[in-house]
A and B are shown apart, each in its own frame.
Chain A
Amino acid sequence: MTRGTSRRDEAAVGSVDTGLVERAQGGDEEAFGLLAVPLGDRLFAVATRILRDDDLAADATQRALIGIWRDLPQLRDLTRFDAWSYRLLVRACYAERRQERRWSPSLRMLPTAHDGGADEVAIVIDRDQLDRAARRLSMDHRVVVVLCYYLDLPHADIAELLGIPVGTVRSRLRYALKGLRGALEADARPAISEAVQ
């Protein structure tokens, strides 16, 4: 779409421009439009990892962007804009997950075999297994995993963002990793029918 592309060209990509945030807070739609391009990409990247579905993630991001615009005048500390945006996004992800009626697995293109050798193929399989295992995690656990390992947020920041105690963040992470390990081990075990043959 031409309009979107031109906006992307105009917008500064990178960290949040607090000047734009301030203008958007005052109701400047053009400023918010410029802000929304890099912000939308960042939020979408997180949403797609939490929800593991690009369509749901796009809808969650859209919902979060609208919420950010609507509630921006109420944000007092502009330096907290990033964390506040992620908080709205996580809420939007939960809302999307609640609304989801049908499970529509994303089609993924696996790399074709080339000179990468056996190790690369093994990594692809590992990621595929991880993907399946991660889908079995609860939303609570997946959110914490993405915030911790994708955004590299400290546990205290995750706790503040989610409004939960730091201890709960740690325990969710621990259980998430335990769950992933368990799912991977289960995946690796042969099916009973295979084992008895």
Chain B
Amino acid sequence: MTVERDLERAVRAWVAQGSEQLPDQSLDAALREISVTPQRRAGWLARRFPIMNSTRLRFGIATIAIIAAGVIGLSFLPGNVGGPTPTPTPTPGVTLALGSFTAPLLASGVTTVDIDAVATEQRPSGGGSRSVAPAWGSMEVSDADGRFFVDLQCTRWDDYYTLLIGGEVTESTHASAPERTRVVIAFHPRSVITALLWFEDSPAAPTCGAFLEGISIPIDVANAMEPVDGLMNVGAYVADCDGSGCTVIDQ
């Protein structure tokens, strides 16, 4: 028993030592991220109908189902009853990623990336972590094996705060990136900005959005992300990185 107590005492002494204050840089980074992170509200059904017996619940569900069926049915009527679907027009947006950096992203080693990606909002609201939003801009990627240009088209943040920006190769002298290949670049902006670049496997997804929605994180992504070297603006972060660490610059 004495041995056990001694061990417990030693463990208590051991856990008592260690850092106690979150570095300001991490706190600032978290607060910047929070300023662009919408809160998840409880479902409106749960708020409006906190107490409901099963008969009323069934009746309510049936009513909702009938209304939904009616709305869906109307949209399929001939003559386009609902009117023409408006075409979304891109509006001046916010920066998703802007800057130049190098990182070992392709097989040949050091890869240089110039990116300017914009979206209508920092983080798509609604639809959870699979919510994809339109994005636009361009990216130029080069390494010892060649160079390619990407037309950026869509974006998504995953649950682990990784920013994904997808697009399509438009011009290329690089064997790994023939024209019309889908490409995604991922950024993980935390104490160190890390990045990953990869190409879509065949068969190709029908849209950029479908491509991003199908990407599973962190299993596919996080383990292969590399720290960047350069001055980068990713989401709400502006940071000067040297390949191993980043200094966050206040905006």
Contacts and interface: CB of A to CB of B under 8 A. Distances in A.
Interface in B1-58: 3-4, 7-8, 10-31, 33-35, 37-42
Contacts of B17: 127
B223 interface: yes
Contacts of A72: 39
Interface stretch (A15-23, A50-58, A79-87, A153-161): A50-58
Nearest to B13: A127
B112 to A, nearest CB: 23
B159 to A, nearest CB: 9
B123 to A, nearest CB: 10
B27 to A, nearest CB: 5
B10 A130 contact: yes
Given A69-B39, A71-B40, A73-B40, A41 B28 contact: no
A158 to B, nearest CB: 14
A62 B15 contact: no
A1 B28 contact: yes
A63 B160 contact: yes
Among B15, B28, B38, B222, which residue has the most Cβ atoms of chain A within 10 A? B15
Contact of B190 (A1, A48, A59): A59
B21 A180 contact: no
Given A63-B160, A95-B160, A7 B14 contact: no
Contacts of A98: 218, 222
Given A55-B191, A62-B33, A1 B15 contact: no
A150 B218 contact: no
B15 A41 contact: no
Contacts of B161: 63, 66
A134 B29 CA distance: 30
A111 B23 CA distance: 23
B195 to A, nearest CB: 14
Interface residues of B, number: 43
A10 interface: no
B11 A177 contact: yes
Contact of B34 (A4, A69, A150, A177): A69
A7 B10 contact: no
A177 B11 CA distance: 9
B250 interface: yes
B110 to A, nearest CB: 19
B223 A101 contact: yes
B27 A74 contact: no
Nearest to B28: A4
Among B27, B29, B191, which residue has the most Cβ atoms of chain A within 10 A? B27
Given A44-B20, A63-B160, A66-B161, A58 B191 contact: yes
Contact of B20 (A4, A27, A41, A95): A41
B40 A70 contact: yes
The 3 nearest A-B residue pairs measured at CB:
A4-B24, A44-B22, A40-B22
Interface of B: 3-4, 7-8, 10-31, 33-35, 37-42, 160-161, 190-191, 218, 222-223, 250
17 contacts: A33-B31, A36-B30, A45-B19, A58-B191, A61-B30, A65-B30, A66-B33, A66-B37, A74-B40, A74-B42, A95-B160, A101-B223, A127-B13, A127-B17, A130-B10, A177-B11, A181-B3
Given A7-B27, A95-B160, 11 more contacts: A29-B35, A36-B31, A43-B22, A59-B190, A69-B37, A70-B40, A101-B223, A126-B10, A127-B13, A150-B16, A181-B3
Interface of A: 1, 3-5, 7-8, 27, 29, 32-33, 36-37, 40-41, 43-45, 48-49, 54-55, 57-59, 61-63, 65-66, 69-74, 95, 98-99, 101, 123, 126-127, 130-131, 134, 145-146, 149-150, 177, 180-181
